Chains A and B, each alone.
Chain A
């Protein structure tokens, strides 16, 4: 297996505080991979290191065999790795179409091409009806969808989704899962940071569990979730069972 993304002993320290240490794992080009862990485990820090918002203080991150650690986010995006934000960040002064168009400009410098690409993404996500709506007027589920639409419009090979399902109703969440599940078939690998164990079980083939900035377990989702150390990290008791 040639890895799409590979982390080698990645560490991040904020002054004396070690937020991440010795994190290593790799992601294949056609999978949905999960990063799980309790609150404050360092998931978002790890995310920020991969996407370029933070520079790791140690180790290497390779994307398609090229080092990306410490590169600025816009360069990493140009190489085909894009992220969404846990707290949605729409461009509030723009319409939905314009939001997606900004992202499409990453691959299509000409306005007409970018607009056509943005329309294609919106149609694909079933958001065409909202194209001319102000992004400000969307509800939470629609804003999440807009985050994904923008990310997809940059035509990535790897998509990082940060807590995409938090705060959604079961129906909205199921629709979102279907959308994510279809991505590898379009040649887009996905890394999700997710709290909900059932969602991770149903979405992802492989996972890594981290706590206190260190890797607890890596492997297939079942293995990782059933690992007693992961159980303990989540519930604090070795004999407890994490389940839906």
Chain B
């Protein structure tokens, strides 16, 4: 089970990064943001990269998680123990409804992407107009002067790092477990060729729906965490298209063919953008630098960082192939 070994290595690296970040609040903040975006991108890529379902409205589920916590805490005084599961349940139900509608009418590819975007926009404008949810001003979570484990309120940042690090590792472990099971094989088959998969016994609608619901649930957990960490949510930050695009960018740069590819993208790009924001002398120049990096990475590593790494690794360990594969043998010789 080399896949589980990979997850164990990644988990060990996450723990190591957490321990290093303990030394400084600033580093811990970068660690937390990286884990947050990493877990989101991994969950987004379970759909896009592994099952072939490109969602452009994934912020919707982050928003559902975040608003469940924020509304629960500020209006009802409910603890995260109630609001986190509530957010997850609502997000999964929303994904189920959206999925049933989209897959029932055979929306694929770009059309599925546009449909998810549309649902996201509807939510964005509805929340922006809803008085109960604080309209576009957002909701501020009530805080007290003392730490409260029940309300997930801490003065130090490390407990938050512990939580989101656990979420990230759990996401990877669940993903890896599913990938080695029938579900994962069916997802990849659906991504590669839906018609052939159905002919071979794959219930396309059911398996796509399952993937959509799982991904939405993980995104909602991340959203719930965000609300508790930042203690403030507004439509722009948790329901905006920017957030959906970020998941996509980290996945493309990191590599969409592998479970942990998007995490690699987040590990590279999140600290980089934080760094740029702090050192840039000219205002706005960090955006240009960031954009240039994206363009360069997309050009030189079309399969993403993970794709490039695995190609290298495979080439190094490649044993002589069986006869009849002249093209492969030749390619390896020239490499």
Contact = CB atoms under 8 A, between A and B. Distances in A.
A92 B327 contact: no
Nearest to B207: A74
B257 interface: yes
Contacts, number: 87
Given A90-B196, A150-B196, 4 more contacts: A74-B201, A91-B189, A93-B188, A129-B322
Nearest to A128: B322
Nearest to B198: A73
Report which residue of B180, B196, B202 has the largest number of chain A beta carbons within 10 angstroms of its beta carbon.
B196
A102 B189 contact: yes
A119 interface: no
B180 A94 contact: no
B322 A105 contact: no
Given A105-B186, A111-B181, A51 B199 contact: yes
Interface stretch (A31-39, A76-84, A182-190): A76-84
A73 B199 contact: yes
Report which residue of B188, B199, B325 has the largest number of chain A beta carbons within 10 angstroms of its beta carbon.
B199
Interface size class of B (residues with CB under 8 A): 20 to 34
Contacts of A51: 199
Given A91-B192, A102-B189, A111-B181, A82 B322 contact: no
Interface in B183-236: 185-186, 188-189, 191-193, 195-204
A94 B200 contact: no
A109 interface: yes
6 contacts: A74-B204, A82-B199, A89-B196, A94-B189, A105-B201, A137-B327
A72 interface: yes
B5 interface: no
Given A89-B193, A91-B193, A94-B192, A82 B185 contact: no
A110 B198 CA distance: 19
Contact of A103 (B201, B204, B325, B327): B201
Report which residue of B180, B189, B201 has the largest number of chain A beta carbons within 10 angstroms of its beta carbon.
B201
Nearest to A84: B199
Interface string A111-141: 1001000000000000001100100010000
A129 B323 CA distance: 9
Given A74-B201, A78-B201, A103-B201, A90 B193 contact: yes
A215 B69 CA distance: 66
A154 interface: yes
Interface in A19-46: none
Contact of A72 (B198, B321, B324): B198
Contacts of A151: 200
A105 B188 contact: no
B38 to A, nearest CB: 23
A72 B188 CA distance: 20
A127 to B, nearest CB: 10
B185 A98 contact: yes
A90 B202 CA distance: 15
Given A93-B257, A102-B197, A74 B202 contact: yes
Interface size class of A (residues with CB under 8 A): 20 to 34
B8 interface: no
A106 interface: yes
Nearest to A135: B192
A76 to B, nearest CB: 9
Nearest to B204: A74
B182 interface: yes
Nearest to A147: B196
Contacts of A129: 322-323
Contacts of B324: 142
Nearest to A134: B328
| Smallest CB-CB A-B distances: 9 pairs | A106-B201, A91-B192, A89-B196, A129-B322, A77-B201, A73-B198, A103-B200, A102-B189, A105-B182
A101 interface: yes
A90 B196 CA distance: 8
Contacts of A114: 182, 185
Contacts of B257: 93
Contacts of B188: 91, 93-94, 98, 102
Contacts of B193: 89-92
Contact of B198 (A74, A105, A133): A74
A154 B200 contact: yes
Contacts of B323: 129
A234 interface: no
A85 interface: yes
Contacts of B186: 102, 105
